[in-house]
Amino acid sequence: MSSTVPKDVLDTARSARRVAVLTGAGMSAESGIPTFRDKDFGLWTKVDPEELATPTAWFQDPARVWAWFAWRARVVQKSFPNAGHRALATWEKRERTTLDVVTQNVDNLHERGGSRAVTHLHGSLFAYRCDTCGEPYEGDLTLPHQPVERLTPPACPRCRLGNIRPDIVWFGEPLDRGRFERAIEAVESADLVLVVGTSGMVYPAAGLPAIARGQGVPVVEINPRESDLSDTVDLRWEVSAATGLPRLVEALER
């Protein structure tokens, strides 16, 4: 694994004026966000997240699911953007460059790292809506300082019938059409699609690189290990996001 920017990767990036960056879990891994089994999740360490991240779990016990997601949000709040997040924000500010981030992550580290054009394909821990009328919720929320087993979600102030839930795509739910259409537009109009830290296993997000290549857009993968997309991209650089992205942006400035 080399931290020296490959010449073909650098040349492709240098000629691109419109860049789409597709990011997955590997993008945030180096920010120290703990896994669900780490001690920071306290009483939740023995809970399978797939049991809670479903509409069925929510309607059966919204207080339990809300407590789980509220604690996840608190843990993310205590983490910080890494050098890869900050590098993308720097790249976005380059003259004559447009950079769109399309992420599968539900954290807010891209925004906190300085990126402005971010599409959250799977939603965000920090966006909320009513489970009944769908109205976005922007009221104040108090996140727990310690993990708790149950936490009553706010009632919807608009319809007064539903509860406020995280605006996240749960297992069994479709992607938001507007978000996915923005992602397709980003990759189709790009001069370069950069795939960073994603396993390439989750669809339809994993199909975006193929859409780009169908339009003749070069696809470059940055990942320290092979993914399900590795055999289909144009170029690969085996390096982590927090190491590779700063090196690439630094090289573009020379």
Q: What is the pLDDT of residues 194-242, one digit of tens each?
A: 999 998 888 999 999 999 999 999 999 999 999 999 999 999 999 999 9
pLDDT mean for each 10 residues of the chain (254 residues): 85 97 92 62 61 92 94 91 98 94 96 97 96 94 89 96 96 94 98 95 93 97 94 96 97 90
Q: Residue 90 is inside which H or E element, if any?
A: helix 83-92
> Tell me, what's the pLDDT at 45?
59
> Tell me, what's the pLDDT at 192?
98
pTM of the complete model = 0.91
Ranges assigned E (strand) in the chain = 18-23, 98-103, 118-120, 123-130, 136-137, 164-168, 192-196, 219-222, 235-237
Query: How big is the CA angle at 186 (ends 107 and 1), to the nearest 5 degrees?
Result: 65
> Tell me, what's the pLDDT at 48?
74
Catalytically annotated residue among 85, 110, 120, 122: 122
Ranges assigned E (strand) in 16-172 = 18-23, 98-103, 118-120, 123-130, 136-137, 164-168
Told to judge if 122 belongs to the known catalytic residues of this protein, a careful annotator would answer: yes
> Tell me, what's the pLDDT at 44?
47
- Do 234 and 213 contact (CB within 8 A), yes or no? yes
42 backbone φψ class: left, alpha, beta (φ>0; ψ -120 to 50): left
Domains of the chain: 1-32+81-122+175-254 (3.40.50.1220), 34-78+128-168 (3.30.1600.10)
92-107 pLDDT per residue, tens:
999 899 999 999 999 9
> Tell me, what's the pLDDT at 52?
86
> Tell me, what's the pLDDT at 11?
97
